[in-house]
Amino acid sequence: MIHTPRHANPPQLLVRHKDRWTRRFQEIHAGGLSRDWATKTARQALRAVLYGFAHGKCVYCEGALGVTAQLDIEHYTAKSVAPERAFEWENLLPACSLCNGSKGEVDHGNILLKPDAENPETYFWMHPDTGELEPHPLLEGDQIRRALETIRICGLQRAALCTKRLWMFRRVSRWMDEIADRGELSDPLIEEWKELSDPRSGYKFVFRHVLTLRGLQILAQRDRDAFERTPNRG
């Protein structure tokens, strides 16, 4: 989970129809009606722009949308908690169906880290043997609670997810070991760097985590800056 700035503008359909779509959902919610929260047109418009929001990845687990799981239109504050915010652009995020399903309609009271508005990367540490996330050792009090609750609410200790993080940890470690052994960057290692540093590459948290552990904070920051400055795309 990393900082994902909100570069993308709301789709024009949302700008034009937000009030009408919101009233429709409020009526559905108030009446307990068994109807979709959004029309097909609304969902298509939101999915189209949200897909590129985090470079095609889930903002919580960083899994590739459409590969790890399908894209869900995620409400940071659940639409059942705040029906009036169901179509508020700043409340909408792209999430995989696994993270969104784990989060559900929980009323987290803003304890959940919000990746477009703050930097979740500073809240976590990764266990090198299990791939599990832990609160960063420098955190205190409320920050520890936010880290733990974010992990719990989004189900970020899923076995498959831990395995993928561990795979990325080992891949980046191997890449760095090869550079140390060779004493130079060969063409294959340069190509691998391009792949790892691509904004669309998954598990950026792990990539930067390994670079930082190896004392290469400058490279980690370079990747961070490139990701945050690159306009979101699919």
pLDDT tens, 41-78? 999 999 988 988 888 999 999 999 987 678 999 999 99
Two structure tokens written together for 215: 């004392």
Rounded-to-integer distance, Cα 165 and Cα 128, Å: 9
Type of residue found at 132? E
End-to-end CA distance of the chain: 18
Predicted confidence (pLDDT) per residue in 139-165, tens digit? 999 999 999 999 999 999 999 999 999
Is the pLDDT assigned to residue 179 strictly greater than 80? Answer: yes
Mean pLDDT across 14-37? 92
Task: Give the residue extent of every domain in the chain.
Answer: 12-103, 120-229
Q: What is the pTM of this model?
A: 0.90
Minimum mean pLDDT among 66-70, 97-101, 103-107: which range?
66-70
pLDDT for the residue 232: 61
Helix%, strand%, coil% for the chain, nearest 5? 50, 10, 40
Is the pLDDT assigned to residue 193 strictly greater than 80? Answer: yes
Q: Please identify which residue in the block is written with the tokens 């009271």.
A: 109
Q: Distance between alpha carbon 180 and the CA centroid of its chain, in Å?
A: 32
pLDDT band of 234, cuts 50, 70, 90: very low
pLDDT band of 35, cuts 50, 70, 90: confident
C-beta of residue 116 within 8 angstroms of C-beta of residue 157: no
Under DSSP, the state recorded for 10 is P
C-beta of residue 91 within 8 angstroms of C-beta of residue 75: yes
Is the pLDDT assigned to residue 184 strictly greater than 80? Answer: no
Closest CA to 49 of 68, 65, 30, 67: 65
Q: Residues 6 or more apart from 219 whose CB is under 8 A from it?
A: 211
